[in-house]
Structure 1
């Protein structure tokens, strides 16, 4: 058998795709280590797997680690410590564990759920891979499963409306798989990612599509129900999908009594949600040539093929599309922004600064002077983690405060203060700072968490707090977004600068840029196509692949474009401004 004598560890393997992968490995002679949060599905899966082993008489084994949440450091540490202590060698780590995360417009997405989604998908993948190295040898393989909605082509980025934390973390996972291939080559360990398309699963049919359908209803309201009532009703009604007529009727009656709503209206809402969910599914299938979603077994077969010795050597470091979906996408990524007449900024422009170097401080100075020269009042909120010389440099030149830029409450409070004291906010500009040259797979968990906070969670949180300034109450009532205006710019992280930049150095930075591109594309699709607003979030990614110094004037030009009337009609929302010739 092809994998006789080998051992595969599969995260999230009690159900769904993970279970199918474990089954495929066992059928091909491998021993498996399965893990997850709940014991019952793992024990059920183990019984099935042991039956196959007995039938095939392979001598393979099944080992369970229950209560292991891939996002939690201790559980992963303890699992790999136990495997190492027992002398187990793991040949394949399959990063499969995941959650759907909140299925709602970013403006309404709870920040704690955003964070937990990133923690499970991205940090879980990172930490399981890094800790797994202690039980892997040369020839080992790490296969990371992502999603077709984070596929990137030249100047093209797929959005995934209502799934901003999911698509941000999955995009970063793809780039992480690439970065690990560079960093682990000296150990002889291969890293590959694969992006399956829609897969037949309970998650997609019972969670993602129905929740997306209910979000469409929440955005507009339904009959006599306003958005908040639609949201509350959906939480009661969605579990009824797929149940028999009697169960549905009883459930609707209970929901009506609990919410003080009309049972007929709730029944109509449930019917409408089901209809839209089916339409979303049907529309997606029509983007596939044979109109068929993948089976879990097909995904498992793809994963085992990527574990093949020859195929894995050929594809090391690649993100392998496995979706078959012809998904129409606008060219959301550009280089230089279109030229516009110099605008009069007029109102306040707020800079939130998570900078770590004097180069970052001088960028803030250049941009703040630019907006002040053109009619704005600039306010700078500087991270308390910034070096003292950075804080002093900016504070001595502009109206500034040192704050905890990672605190949603503090950022929101200071934005309120800026609006009250210096006027209506025209734009919020968040400066992430740059990634220091570091080997990602050598980071401690605290160091990794700090990078995720700095380059993914804080920019997204600041963006949401800015949206609350532009459209007060818009999270709860999305109808308020119609025709509203506002501008957010995320700057960074920069590509590394120097004459001899390695592929590994670029790949490290791309992990976090790889989160911001799909995040930006997804949120802008919601803002324009769903909420019908003129609010936009641009991401500016400075630097060049050749290692040239970034030009801050090009960032200033991008800010001019962002606050112009033209920005609202632009499909381009992410700009690599220094790559223009």
Structure 2
């Protein structure tokens, strides 16, 4: 009897690539598989191939769910409704679906694309896992595939420039896998994440590396082209990589005709040819540099990733590794100490004539009191304060803050409104020294895995997409026009501090409570690290976005004084040269 005979595996994003390879391994080992994805044709082709691999004498089946986007609540719910109505028991759920997302500096990343990437990678993993519980039984396994470009070891970050929504999603997925191991213990369901590292795939070679190389060209401009012209050219040229010489020549000529705008056609054609060659050269260099961080200099094959996933589904191995994030990437990636505890001490800055803006999404009274403490700290040292309070903040907290400081109730989830109010503050109060965003705390819930989809979406918005929305507005405020011309970022000044969410405090804090908070901290850590690497190393800017995480693993109360000291450091000259961009100010370790 084959190892997975009479078992059922559901693999998301399984029409092509790693997902298809995993489905293949399951079938070869006797399992029935459920494959799903957005595109019907690849799934149908994969199904035919899988049916041909069913071992002789084994009564396995291949089932397709086409047109299912893991981020689509109704599509996923409907699929699991159908499985439940058919009395299907799923033994293994493999969260594999993913997209590259925007490959560009965060300041230039469309927020809709940011949200879409988070929706597919993180929310798709959450909702798929939660809905799968309806058709799973004790002994079931949830295996989540994430990336090595998030955290290498506890408290170390791997920034992945130009991939901020991707890294935020992946960091949170790692922590979500850990959380599910806590919350699903009573159901007997095991949760493990694995980071396979660099894998041979068209997505890397044809999308990620070329787009990253193209972004380097956009940031600096190329020959006679401005960043906007480089961007327009890239959109025409990237698809030509890997094509036959005659196709490339025709494509370049067509792009030159389309984008000449009155310039000399022959000159533009030569420039575009040079640009494409440069992009290919950089992409190949990135690939080579990554391979040199691996002992044998080899990326994994998709079949090897599939083999590792099936090993994690082994009953005994899964019990040992429940709740773990397996760093199976084999990559030695040198990292700076991006995370610290208390910030370095600095002389108290004089804020006279400078404005500090608070964007507030408070959850409880202690959040409002934190805003009060920090705003008084600014005013006491000569600064001016404006508080923009989210409409979703409870009314009594809105009134508490508004009664003490110049405040407006706004929709901080709306980028246009954020930009408008930042402009108003800059006009009425003077040049903005820094922006402090308060996320508020995680609401008390017994289990995140028991939340409705609407409740989960609210948390994603509160702790991931809203901080990103505010951050992008802040960057545009500090560098007007920087999105279109990133050269404007060079030597610019500015600071933003994201505070929260807090670890729970008290003597009887549970592992589940800490793990819930870590899901969202797990998004903000790599997000902050990635954006700051872009600002410092790529854009040559002195603007910094810091994350401050109050509370400690021992359950001690957070100190607003330490957060105030962190802001003092953030707006000092020392901050721009610091590799540390996330501070757990109440931790002593």
Common fold: TM-score over 0.5: yes
Contact 1:221–1:230 (CA under 8 A) maintained in structure 2: yes
Q: Which whole-Å deviations, capped at 9, do the CAs of 1:146-202 have from their partners, x for residues lacking one?
A: 000012424311110000000000100000000000000000000000011110000
- Cα distance in structure 1, aligned partners of 2:568 and 2:408: 25
- Higher mean displacement: 22-31 or 402-411: 402-411
- Cα distance in structure 1, aligned partners of 2:335 and 2:137: 41
Q: Which residue pairs with 1:109 in the alignment?
A: 109
- Cα distance in structure 2, aligned partners of 1:542 and 1:562: 16
**How far 1:323 moved relative to its partner?**
0.4
Q: Which residue pairs with 2:474 in the alignment?
A: 466
The answer as to 2:150 corresponding to 1:144 is no
Q: Which residue pairs with 1:374 in the alignment?
A: 381
Q: Which residue pairs with 1:22 in the alignment?
A: 23
- Cα distance in structure 2, aligned partners of 1:24 and 1:465: 46
**In the alignment, which of 436, 443, 449 is matched to residue 443 of structure 2?**
436
- 2:346 aligned counterpart, secondary structure: coil
The answer as to 2:39 corresponding to 1:38 is yes
- 1:539 aligned counterpart, secondary structure: strand
- Cα distance in structure 2, aligned partners of 1:375 and 1:276: 49
Q: Which residue pairs with 2:188 in the alignment?
A: 188
Contact 1:197–1:323 (CA under 8 A) maintained in structure 2: yes
Alignment of 1:126-525 (within 5 A): 126-260=126-260, 262-346=268-352, 347-438=354-445, 439-525=447-533
- 2:52 aligned counterpart, secondary structure: helix
- 2:218 aligned counterpart, secondary structure: helix
Q: Which whole-Å deviations, capped at 9, do the CAs of 1:447-488 have from their partners, x for residues lacking one?
A: 000000000000011011000011111111110000000000
- Cα distance in structure 2, aligned partners of 1:192 and 1:14: 23
Contact 2:163–2:530 (CA under 8 A) maintained in structure 1: yes
Q: Which whole-Å deviations, capped at 9, do the CAs of 1:269-321 have from their partners, x for residues lacking one?
A: 00000000000000000000100001100100010000000000000000001
- Cα distance in structure 2, aligned partners of 1:29 and 1:375: 72
Q: Which residue pairs with 1:8 in the alignment?
A: 9
- Cα distance in structure 1, aligned partners of 2:105 and 2:303: 32
The TM-score, its normalising length taken from structure 1, stands at 0.99
- Higher mean displacement: 417-426 or 13-22: 417-426
Q: Which residue pairs with 1:63 in the alignment?
A: 63
**How far 1:534 moved relative to its partner?**
0.2
- Cα distance in structure 2, aligned partners of 1:394 and 1:530: 38
- Cα distance in structure 2, aligned partners of 1:580 and 1:341: 22
- 1:489 aligned counterpart, secondary structure: strand
Contact 1:151–1:195 (CA under 8 A) maintained in structure 2: no
- Cα distance in structure 2, aligned partners of 1:387 and 1:41: 48
- Cα distance in structure 2, aligned partners of 1:109 and 1:239: 20
The TM-score, its normalising length taken from structure 2, stands at 0.98
What's the RMSD between the two structures over aligned residues?
Answer: 0.7
Contact 1:471–1:480 (CA under 8 A) maintained in structure 2: yes
Structure 1 outlier segments of 4+, above 3 Å: none
Contact 2:363–2:443 (CA under 8 A) maintained in structure 1: no
- Higher mean displacement: 533-542 or 151-160: 151-160
**How far 1:374 moved relative to its partner?**
1.0
- 1:172 aligned counterpart, secondary structure: helix
Alignment of 1:534-545 (within 5 A): 534-545=542-553
Q: Which whole-Å deviations, capped at 9, do the CAs of 1:487-506 have from their partners, x for residues lacking one?
A: 00000000011111110000
